[in-house]
Structure 1
């Protein structure tokens, strides 16, 4: 969720490349073969994004070739143990406002 994605395709005999996204993120440089994609908020919310690489061949070839890469975006877990409070040494305390999101396990 908080990390960028660096592309690493294998391409031969190309004149130029262009990266596009079906999400709302941006490429640091969409015309570099190895580029960095910064996911947008919509990408994070949907949990994935499709990145498309379009390759223009060297002459005399003219057909642009494209391929799609789908990357999964896992959301970072969050936790809240509850509000600060005071209680007596021999008393008990109930954690009734604790919460977690995007997690599979909770361990106290």
Structure 2
């Protein structure tokens, strides 16, 4: 394409075609600004709340209130919250097992 643009023997139609094809790479368009998304979600501090929030998010996409890409961004935040809840739950269960193991007569875990 650039050869056509720089070749003095190229006709104007060929140069116009080459310029049109090269333009997006020479002058790329900036990414569009993200739209702020406002949606009422239930509290997400429990696993049940996370599930309810995802359900509400799916409903918003189904009714056209949110674009799928917008919902995907919000769902990623909800998923991060779910992982935090899961991690805290696992840590609490592990602490309880370790405490039970320390007590006299408590279960002995075998490695």
The verdict on a shared fold, with TM-score over 0.5 as the criterion, is no
Higher normalized strand content (fraction of residues): 1
Name the larger-Rg structure.
2
Larger RCO, structure (CA 8 Å, separation 6 or more): 1
TM-score by length of 1: 0.30
TM-score by length of 2: 0.29
Higher normalized helix content (fraction of residues): 2
